[in-house]
Structure 1
């Protein structure tokens, strides 16, 4: 992990914690002076957010530690577990909102009118949470941080809960306080769905799933774009935590020297490793004369799709024709066989 990513991720965690603490204090003050049940629930929600934000900040500190003897690849693999902790917090908040809403309707206790102060603090909360949502989402996607993305989704939840509380406050002002628990019950469903989103997104990181097709296609294209690579096979890309490990075999001319083959391998590793999502790249060099390529429809489809995209964009590089070309101008028995793009 780069020092820049480490610094940015930690800064986001600190900002989220600071904003949640400020909102908890502001809502607590309005609750104390007005007695509004809606604002009181939001104050408890912000206090809970502050507590889990502290845990998330500690988790992000651990995930951004540099590699050591026991963790030679770094600590990023902890990050999906931090995200799942956020998901648990989201489910707890959703359950609490639904419980309070149901209890309020059954008992007929809807709180009191919070007045202008309650409306103001809830509007400020919604605005602050929207700003945090956009900020965390942008940084999380740029830095490939599932924990920061999960925090963004949680802040999106808080916009909904603040909106529900605002409906309750306005409903009490209009003489229809039952709107508060009804809005809360509806919002709880959205909160539960957000928890599901976080779990779904992070399970792939934990089970070593393959990355999205566009990333697999780019990995294969970067390997094949080297002018001396004749084919690629046994290409495997999978998540290790939030990052991707790649292994592949490339086909080169068998008569080249070991130094030349090593240089090609290093250049392919550097090209694929330059992708921000990729952590480690392992390349095995095979003489093309061994004929180890294995036909693979999925890999051929990725290459053809990449070629079509480049043609539409006006690019000059065609992976398929590049692999098939005989750059030495000599006749080879292997030329009659289809080039290999196997994944």
Structure 2
């Protein structure tokens, strides 16, 4: 299955699942009046809204390259992640507002019966399944939009657990636990938004990839038998993909054709890493003395 098909299929699955969860929770909220269930319904509505945005965004970002976008459209993905974060913050704020106004309005009334607890427990199970599926797709396809969605699903599990604890505690004779659980849900929702913003800002501002990947890039360059050193190794995000530039040192007696072959082999080796998009390699004759001490490169090489 191609990356395009995989991302679009997962995006559609998330949208349908969130829409179904919202419908179930809204019905139960109307029947029971539980604020915790109502907050979870609001959270699921926000999830359905942002998953629709993600679905459209994944359609756009997986279009093939064209004249205006010769590298493709993958760089749209971090903006999709920020749209997800905006929806998450709105949902968290709405839940917190409802919980606080309920606490200030007087006695809290909670309906009896198992329905509220069952829908919250069922929602947590569905979210766990979504989390596993979406996270696996995000890692396999290097998708920040899906990674943001997976983070939201992970925290939704915790939020549903807090809401369930509030419902059960309230029905056990402590009704104050219901709005308090709603506040816990809002805190989990907002924390998810912070995580999503932090992750996607790295893609947008050209941050460095993880150290493990930088080490793999350097080691692939040094693995060529004719490369005797490397310096000025720079790897940074351009959208969700990584551009790499580096200098390699070779023997000064190497012919132009041989140097070209070395450069091509190093480029192809680094570009084989799934996260890497473009690689730029400058070949230096080692006798010119252009090498300069690079503590970071030496540390990664060790």
TM-score for the superposition, normalised by structure 2: 0.93
C-alpha separation in 2, matches of 1:37 and 1:200: 30
| Alignment check: 8 A CA contact 1:37 1:110 kept | no
The 1:111–1:135 alpha-carbon spacing in structure 2 relative to 1, beyond 3 Å, is: farther
Unmatched runs of 5 consecutive residues or more in structure 2: none
Say if 2:290 is the partner of 1:289.
Answer: no
> Which secondary structure state, in structure 2, belongs to the residue aligned with residue 115 of structure 1?
coil
Corresponding residue number in structure 2 for 1:8: 6
Find the partner of 1:166 among 158, 164, 167: 164
What CA deviation, in whole Å up to 9, does each residue of 1:66-122 have, x standing for no partner? 111111111111111111111111211221221111111111253431522222111
> Which deviates further from its counterpart, 28-37 or 277-286?
28-37
Corresponding residue number in structure 2 for 1:73: 71
Corresponding residue number in structure 1 for 2:276: 278
Unmatched runs of 5 consecutive residues or more in structure 1: 305-343
Say if 2:36 is the partner of 1:28.
Answer: no
Superposition RMSD in Å? 1.8
The 1:98–1:36 alpha-carbon spacing in structure 2 relative to 1, beyond 3 Å, is: closer
The 1:234–1:172 alpha-carbon spacing in structure 2 relative to 1, beyond 3 Å, is: closer
Corresponding residue number in structure 2 for 1:320: none
Aligned length: 302
Corresponding residue number in structure 2 for 1:148: 146
Find the partner of 1:89 among 87, 90, 103: 87
The 1:258–1:133 alpha-carbon spacing in structure 2 relative to 1, beyond 3 Å, is: same
What CA deviation, in whole Å up to 9, does each residue of 1:251-285 have, x standing for no partner? 22233332222211111011111111111111122
Corresponding residue number in structure 2 for 1:255: 253
What CA deviation, in whole Å up to 9, does each residue of 1:286-316 have, x standing for no partner? 2222221111122112112xxxxxxxxxxxx
C-alpha separation in 2, matches of 1:62 and 1:112: 45
C-alpha separation in 2, matches of 1:135 and 1:109: 42
The 1:113–1:159 alpha-carbon spacing in structure 2 relative to 1, beyond 3 Å, is: same
| Alignment check: 8 A CA contact 2:42 2:91 kept | no
| Bigger CA radius of gyration | 1
Corresponding residue number in structure 2 for 1:227: 225
C-alpha separation in 2, matches of 1:160 and 1:108: 27
> Which secondary structure state, in structure 2, belongs to the residue aligned with residue 68 of structure 1?
coil
- What displacement does 1:32 show? 4.0
TM-score for the superposition, normalised by structure 1: 0.83
C-alpha separation in 1, matches of 2:270 and 2:41: 48
> Which deviates further from its counterpart, 162-171 or 131-140?
162-171
C-alpha separation in 2, matches of 1:38 and 1:110: 12
The 1:302–1:41 alpha-carbon spacing in structure 2 relative to 1, beyond 3 Å, is: closer
Greater RCO structure (CA 8 Å; 6+ sep): 2
C-alpha separation in 1, matches of 2:84 and 2:214: 29
